[in-house]
Amino acid sequence: MNTKGWNITITSTIMNTGDFRWETNLNLSHFKTKVIRLTADRKFLARTSWWMNNWTQWAHVGMEPWLFRGYIAEGLFQSVEDAENSPRPVDNNGAPRPVDPNNGIWVGDVKYKDVDGNGIIDVNDETFIGNPWPDLTGGLTNTFSYKGFDLSVLFTASWGNDIYNYIRAVNLNPNNVNLSRNFLVEASDYARVVDDGTGKVIIQNAGTNVARIANNQIASDNNYGKKQQPLCGRWFLYKAEKYFAQLCSAPALAATNQSDQGYAHYRRCAKRDYLDQVHGL
Ligand SMILES: [Ca+2]
């Protein structure tokens, strides 16, 4: 790998009155790493986890290591016509799954982006959907000294990195209801697929992006294709809009606070995020 970057450190004394002394240290750094060559004779390495479904990161030659890899979700199928006229995931024979409420793709299932434009959703539609490396990291240390006592307060932050919120992905999938687990409140807004009285199948709670509870689990399990993964959770990629702040006291006090403000302001991985990525192989 090749890594290039820079680092700036600014140290200053804010106050020095004899018994009391206040010093600050500001540190900012930026780096970019690129995979130059892999030990194996191949273009990329994939990393998965046995305890995380639908999770993949790639280290690809010429790119930053361990970028998030997955499908792009584009909402839900809104009608039967929408499902019939849109690219659908394929079965093990490479044929698009039928439009069927029990044994195929149906209204309320997740619609994935046909990245290569060939009219079907298969492994070739996987792409790079996020970058875990920050554009900028920083730290600010304030050290207070008074008659032999020291208090050091450290703030750290990062900007520009994507975060894969796996907890959200799992707990927002209503199809996990059989696992007797808790859910996020938003999961209760799962797509209610009903007949509108005229024979037309609609989503009663139109506007939701939470998939229906499917009998066949096709839209959320690993069965629609030999190699591809449906990655129902991959669209829960969130970009940090606010920094993480971590407060650490001096060892004598040992108080730590991890702010969750960043989590509260994540945005859903959007088309723009996808387009921001270099995904050509
Ligand atoms: Ca395709």
pLDDT (tens digit per residue) in 30-40 = 999 999 999 87
In this predicted structure, what is the pLDDT of residue 228?
30
CA atoms of 154 and 145, how far apart (whole Å): 15
How many separate domains does the chain show? 2
How far is ligand 1, taken at its centre, from the CA of residue 279, in Å?
15
pLDDT of residue 155: 96
Residue written as token pair 């698009």? 96
Rounded Cα–Cα distance for residues 25 and 141 (Å): 5
Same domain, 113 and 9: no
More confident residue, 264 or 48: 48
Q: Please report the pLDDT score of residue 225 as a whole number.
A: 27
Reduced to 3 states (helix: H, G, I; strand: E, B; else coil), residue 80 is: helix
Select the more confidently predicted residue: 263 or 53: 53
In a domain, 77, yes or no: yes
10 and 75 co-located in one domain: no
Please state the length of the chain: 281
Is residue 116 located within the same domain as residue 84? yes
Tell me: do 11 and 85 sit in the same domain: no
* Cα 134 to ligand 1 centre (Å): 30
Same domain membership, residue 228 and residue 212: no
Q: What is the pLDDT of residues 161-185, one digit of tens each?
A: 998 888 888 888 888 777 677 889 9
- Encode burial over 197-216: b for 16+ CB neighbours within 10 A, e otherwise: eeeebbbeeeebbbbbbbeb
264, pLDDT greater than 80? no
Query: Is pLDDT at 26 greater than 50 in this prediction?
Result: yes
In a domain, 203, yes or no: yes
Domain span at residue 115? Answer: 71-125+166-217
Distance 119 CA to ligand 1 centre (A): 6
Alpha carbon of 132 to ligand 1 centroid (Å): 26
User: 8 and 98 share a domain?
Assistant: no
